[in-house]
Structure 1
Amino acid sequence: MENMQPAGSFKLRGIGRVCEEAARAGATRFISPSGGNAGYAAAWAGRELGVCTTVIVPVTTSEEAKNAIAALGAEVLVSGESWKESNELALKMAGEDPKSKYIHAFDDPVMWDGHGTLMDEAAKQGPKPGAVVLSVGGGGLLCGVVAGMDRNGWGDVPVLACETEGAASFAAAVAAGEIVELEGISSVATSLGARAVAPHALEICRDHRIIPYVVPDEAAVSACGRFLDDHRVLVEPACGVSLSAIYDNTPLLGDAGTVLVVVCGGIGISAAKLRDLEARFGLS
């Protein structure tokens, strides 16, 4: 239930680790190119650590997201039509200030180590699962979870890597045997909107059984509604895609008895937004 993290998603584990190490090394500013969960987690960590944080977002970022990040005390700058352009400004700013720390949304080994604490906790809390189910955007969670599984003796457990159609850069990379950059993101699961995954996400497929699972947006949105009804918990479609694997009883899970699903959470959802999405797909 990573949605219960103080910053609303699993991102706080890894970004928090990156920020803690940077603060100990003397960083006086964190710079995060993200208008979503990564930016929110960086702003949260900056507030807790007493470090000024700048979050750079593209023009497509909602006022709701910008206000939420600013409410944590972060400076919010708007730059570019896409994350790629926001990232260019973040790298430029970080390069001009040696006391600042650039925070990537998903491609950082220190971050993966932080995300891996999820599996350290899971190993203490319950039995070894027959499968692990998680969502993939840029692959940071996947890289961290696999690292955590390895260090807890769960390296033989298969991982179902879930994406929505229109944001399936990991499945495309696996199919091609190399990193593939999507022309664009057309899914409503915008938190999965990395046009290309971290190279390490593809590399770990050589030594681990990682199964891509791609479904339409409708399945992810439906799962969000069902999860809300069942558990009174609201999550983004980026999280719903993993839940859909269970609700739709995908045969890709085979005969796995105990399944561990990472409910990754996300701040980019509200009851009104979910109702609108359900209506869009004829689910309401």
Structure 2
Amino acid sequence: MKMVKYTRQDVDEMTLEQIKEAARALEGVVRRTDLVEAPRIHPEGQVYLKPENLQVTGSFKVRGAYHKISRLSEEEKKKGVIACSAGNHAQGVALAAAKSGIPALICIPEGAPISKVEATKSYGAQVRLVKGVYDDAYREACRLQKESGAVFIHPFDDPDVIAGQGTVGLEIMEQLPDADAVIVPVGGGGLISGVACAVKSLRPQCRVYGVQVTGAPSMARALRNKKIEPLPRVSTFADGIAVKCPGQLTYGMCEKYVDEIVTVTDDETAAAILALMEQHRLIAEGAGAVAVAAAMFNRVDVRGKKTVCLVSGGNIDVTILSRVISRGLTRAGRQGRLVIELVDKPGELREVSAVIAELGGNVISVRHDHSGDEADITACTLSIGVETRDRDHLNRIRDAVVRAGYRILDS
């Protein structure tokens, strides 16, 4: 496949009219997702959610994929399409190809959630699992495209795809025309490029922030260093934004339109997923929750501002979700573990449990261990899992255990 080289002129040629044209093409295909007020995400700001996790296929990706495929010529459609994806773009391409009656081959990293892989297959696309991460799947898709002559549908570095994703920004400006800030997840940069172009064209004073995870900060680093360099590796459960290298076109558009790219940790992202579930009954995947995490943990100053957090997708594997909930509870201080040294005699567990219960804590697990060569021969350790209201509650329980005469080794 011949690589497209984008220039500053290509960046400047992206217009609001192209995004409006994409919106017309997507009528009757994608959902116009609502804005949901979220007062508990940050009590000092007026925060709204744009739940693209409720979109057809479970993410915003169908917007760009469908728009791109809708613009193919009849001759191009006969050749079929090929794409690479961590899962969400795959579903968008598969659905768009099915609606257009053309074959689709999708290369997906083998570590992608099973739910995303199976959903892609359900739309009729052929799936090839590739060892490694998104960038490895991209190289394999390029190789296969050269062999087959199919049309490559890039997940982010394509003007038509970006215009399709920009329809999210168009909707936000129609729903909240006086927005002060929009916070957008960033992987390769297609979503934020389109959203920022739409937002800045309609309301230049509205700030646009991108969010990446600390384990995959490719766009943040590129903008900071003023050049595109691939990361040596990525490490995050937010597979949808685990991209080693941003696109040329998206880099240029972020440089032109985006005010700042910030990062959040995996633990903060897990806490945001938990907050969305408990407060709004919304299921978000890791990539979909990073904008909310940025607002929750003050990576973006939302105090006194009307801020929209874009929840970009909800296709999370249920096995990962259970671990994420546990991490989120721990990050929020909702559950913890006390490792206590005590004398191994009858009644000690009852006494410790009574201290915890008196303060309203709930014991959810107990592990008793009297091994260890360095410990006193009559000593043991008690590892107690505790369910609490928040971190302050957990700290008060820990202090009460110490006051009761017990030594805490770890918590």
Give TM-score, length-normalised by structure 1. 0.90
Bigger mean CA offset, 228-237 vs 125-134: 125-134
Aligned to 1:216: 265
Aligned to 2:64: 14
Question: Is 1:186 aligned with 2:186?
Answer: no
For the Cα contact (< 8 Å) 2:114–2:317, is it kept in 1? Answer: no
Measured at CA, do residues 221 and 170 of structure 1 come closer, stay the same or move farther in structure 2, by a change above 3 Å? same
Q: How many residues align?
A: 280
Question: Is 1:265 aligned with 2:308?
Answer: no
Question: What are the residue-to-residue correspondences of 1:131-210 with 2, within 5 Å?
Answer: 131-151=181-201, 153-210=202-259
Q: Which is richer in strand? A: 2
**Structure with more contact order per residue of length (Cα contacts < 8 Å, sep ≥ 6):** 1
Matched residue of 2:227: which SS?
coil
Measured at CA, do residues 115 and 24 of structure 1 come closer, stay the same or move farther in structure 2, by a change above 3 Å? farther
Question: Cα deviation per residue 1:97-141 (whole Å; 9 max; x = unaligned)?
Answer: 44x211111111111111111122222222221111011011011
Bigger mean CA offset, 68-77 vs 133-142: 68-77
CA drift of 1:18 comes to 0.8
Matched residue of 1:179: which SS?
coil
Separation (CA, whole Å) in 2 of partners of 1:116 and 1:142: 8
Matched residue of 1:155: which SS?
coil
Bigger mean CA offset, 33-42 vs 131-140: 33-42
CA drift of 1:80 comes to 3.8
Measured at CA, do residues 32 and 204 of structure 1 come closer, stay the same or move farther in structure 2, by a change above 3 Å? closer
For the Cα contact (< 8 Å) 1:133–1:260, is it kept in 2? Answer: yes
What percent identity do the matched residue pairs reach? 25
Separation (CA, whole Å) in 1 of partners of 2:75 and 2:309: 35
Aligned to 1:275: 322
For the Cα contact (< 8 Å) 1:164–1:187, is it kept in 2? Answer: yes
For the Cα contact (< 8 Å) 1:234–1:269, is it kept in 2? Answer: no
Letter in 1 for 2:301: L
CA drift of 1:219 comes to 0.4
Separation (CA, whole Å) in 2 of partners of 1:206 and 1:38: 24
Letter in 2 for 1:169: S
Letter in 1 for 2:58: G
Question: Is 1:39 aligned with 2:90?
Answer: yes
Matched residue of 1:66: which SS?
helix
Give the RMSD, CA atoms, in angstroms.
2.1
Separation (CA, whole Å) in 2 of partners of 1:207 and 1:2: 25
CA drift of 1:199 comes to 2.5
Aligned to 1:129: 179
CA drift of 1:248 comes to 2.5
Question: Cα deviation per residue 1:193-248 (whole Å; 9 max; x = unaligned)?
Answer: 11011123332354335212112110011001011111101001112111012222
Letter in 2 for 1:56: C
For the Cα contact (< 8 Å) 2:230–2:244, is it kept in 1? Answer: yes
Question: Cα deviation per residue 1:243-271 (whole Å; 9 max; x = unaligned)?
Answer: 01222244x3265521122111141343x
Bigger mean CA offset, 104-113 vs 254-263: 254-263
Separation (CA, whole Å) in 2 of partners of 1:24 and 1:122: 33
Question: Is 1:54 aligned with 2:94?
Answer: no
Separation (CA, whole Å) in 1 of partners of 2:172 and 2:74: 28
Separation (CA, whole Å) in 1 of partners of 2:257 and 2:132: 36
Measured at CA, do residues 84 and 255 of structure 1 come closer, stay the same or move farther in structure 2, by a change above 3 Å? closer
1:83 to 127, 134, 142: 134
Separation (CA, whole Å) in 1 of partners of 2:171 and 2:219: 26
CA drift of 1:280 comes to 4.4
For the Cα contact (< 8 Å) 2:200–2:206, is it kept in 1? Answer: no
Give TM-score, length-normalised by structure 2. 0.64
CA drift of 1:177 comes to 1.4
For the Cα contact (< 8 Å) 2:109–2:131, is it kept in 1? Answer: yes
Bigger mean CA offset, 19-28 vs 124-133: 19-28
Letter in 1 for 2:292: L
Question: Cα deviation per residue 1:83-103 (whole Å; 9 max; x = unaligned)?
Answer: 3333233223323344x2111
For the Cα contact (< 8 Å) 1:183–1:195, is it kept in 2? Answer: yes
Matched residue of 1:3: which SS?
helix
Aligned to 1:102: 152
Measured at CA, do residues 66 and 204 of structure 1 come closer, stay the same or move farther in structure 2, by a change above 3 Å? closer
CA drift of 1:25 comes to 5.4
CA drift of 1:24 comes to 4.9
Matched residue of 2:206: which SS?
coil
For the Cα contact (< 8 Å) 1:59–1:81, is it kept in 2? Answer: yes
